[in-house]
Amino acid sequence: MTHKTYYDDLYLREIDAEVISQTEHDGKYNIILDQTIFYPSGGGQPCDLGFIDDVEVIDVHESGDEIIHVLSAPVENKRVHCVLNWDRRFEFMQQHLGEHLFAGCIYSLHDIHTARMRIEGDNVSIDTDIPADMNKILEAEALANEAIYKNIPVEVIYPDMEEVKANARKLPPENAETPIRIVKVEGVDYVPCCGLHVKSTGEVGLVKVTSVENHKGGSRIYMRCGRAAYRWLASVHEEVRKAESELVCGYDGINEKILSLKSQIHALKVENEKTIERFLKPIAESLLASGEKVIVHVMSNSNQDEAKHLFKLITESNHDAIVLLACETSEGAFIIFGTNKANKKVDVRPAFKKAINILEGRGGGNSFCAQGWGKNPDKLNEALELAKAELM
């Protein structure tokens, strides 16, 4: 049985321990010690990492009464020196308590229960039993931060089951070891938990919700706590600073500037469409005036959008004409074949397939419109003639 020294002193970063056993598994070494400061993964909190006698600890997990330390190489000594990756542990303790504060607050404010919690890198995620809207979430976030300013001590207690049932925001699992380990933050949270937490709320520093998504009838809330929250805010600020510089405004003017730019882009698009139509309309009319059953046209100095636009002008003009349009750009040859939607007598796909194969390209569509790109524009005329013959 490994003694869990991490419960005796959450802030112990180094310790000496006796090696009880060491076994090799696929080139890795499983070591059991008489006592440990390495917290194993569990309850949503990732395991501690660090070194045992200068050998890297790559995983720590619990198996029955024992804590298994997985090492990249064997240790030589019977008595070893253990050193935690302290920054990692401290940040997990900040994140874990931050999660408690938020969960306790959203429960007391809105009677929303939280189930699964997971710490993944800088992210903490919590699932709620019912949907939590942004207003409720932000209220809970604000209250959690108030608890941080009050710097409330975190207590670990082992009360009897009656007291647990009367006070806990959620009950321990049926098979939980007794007595139940309760993590209590006076006035904020009271919950069964086997994880590790900083010793007072002030050490969490900050809780900031970053996003929310729908999840299994409830919400999945993502947040940052402690040093991870600071890192996140610093990177957000860096992006905001760049946007302020590009848009020549303060952070509170960014949204207004973006809305104004969007409306300018929309107006330009409308103007551009009108210009394209003015220049394409006569081309469509002259192609339709030819009276050909199959209209073939290669557009010079044009792009895919213009070809699609001309295609639309011709096919939507209520004629039964079949149109084979193409344009060449630096990226290859674009072809679009089709007819008016109402023209059920024609299926352009067999002709399109032949043409796109000659052009060594890819594409597809339906009976009245097929389009694609070919990488062999030298064969464009050959491809169009073959397609025309197919459709005559």
List contacts with Zn ion (CB under 5 A).
Answer: 96, 193, 195
- The distance of closest approach from Cβ of residue 117 to Zn ion in the complex, given in angstroms and rounded to an integer, is 8
Candidates 67, 66, 65, 33; CA nearest to 52 is 33
Question: Which of 60, 68, 73, 119 lies closest to 95 in space, CA to CA?
Answer: 119
DSSP states of 313-355 = HHHTTS---EEEEEEEETTEEEEEEEE-TT-TT---HHHHHHH
Which residue of the chain is nearest Zn ion when measured via CB? Answer: 193
Q: Give how far Cα 388 sits from Cα of 296, 306, 313, 322, Å.
A: 8, 22, 20, 9
> Which DSSP category does 79 fall into?
E
Q: Report the residue number, 195 or 361, with the smaller CB distance to Zn ion.
A: 195
Strands 322-329 and 294-299: parallel
* Least distance from Zn ion to the Cβ atom of residue 10, Å: 12
Distance of CA 177 to the CA centre of its chain: 36
CB 324 within 8 A of CB 296: yes
- Least Å distance, CB 69 to Zn ion, is 22
Range 209-217 contact pairs with CB under 8 angstroms and sequence separation of 24 or more: 209/102, 209/137, 209/138, 209/141, 210/123, 212/132, 212/134, 212/137, 214/131, 215/127, 216/127, 217/129, 217/130, 217/131
Tokens of 284: 């469509």
Which CB sits closer to Zn ion, 193 or 324?
Answer: 193
Contact 192, 161 (CB under 8 A): no
- To 10 degrees, what angle do helices 349-358 and 380-391 make? 160
Nearer to Zn ion, 5 or 94 (CB): 94
- Least Å distance, CB 3 to Zn ion, is 21
Amino acid identity, position 213: E
Cα gap 197→44, rounded to integer Å: 13
Q: Which one, 194 or 355, has the nearer CB to Zn ion?
A: 194
CB of 28 to Zn ion, least distance (A): 29
Given the complex with Zn ion, which of 180 and 193 has the nearer CB atom? 193
Identity at 257, one-letter amino acid code: K
Cα 367–chain centre separation: 39
**Residue 156 C-beta: closest distance to Zn ion, Å:** 10
Q: Which is nearer to Zn ion, 42 or 350 (CB)?
A: 42
Closest CB 135 distance from Zn ion, rounded Å: 26
- Could you tell me the smallest distance in angstroms from the CB atom of residue 101 to Zn ion? 11
Closer residue to Zn ion in complex, CB, 37/333? 37
| Nearest to Zn ion of 201, 371 (CB atom) | 201
Element (H or E) spanning 302, and its range?
Answer: none
> At its nearest, how many Å lie between Zn ion and the CB of residue 149?
21
Q: Residue 43, by phi and psi: left (phi above 0), alpha (psi -120 to 50) or beta?
A: left
Smallest gap from residue 197 Cβ to Zn ion (A): 6
Residue number with CB closer to Zn ion (71 or 193): 193
Is the CB of 118 or the CB of 379 nearer to Zn ion?
Answer: 118
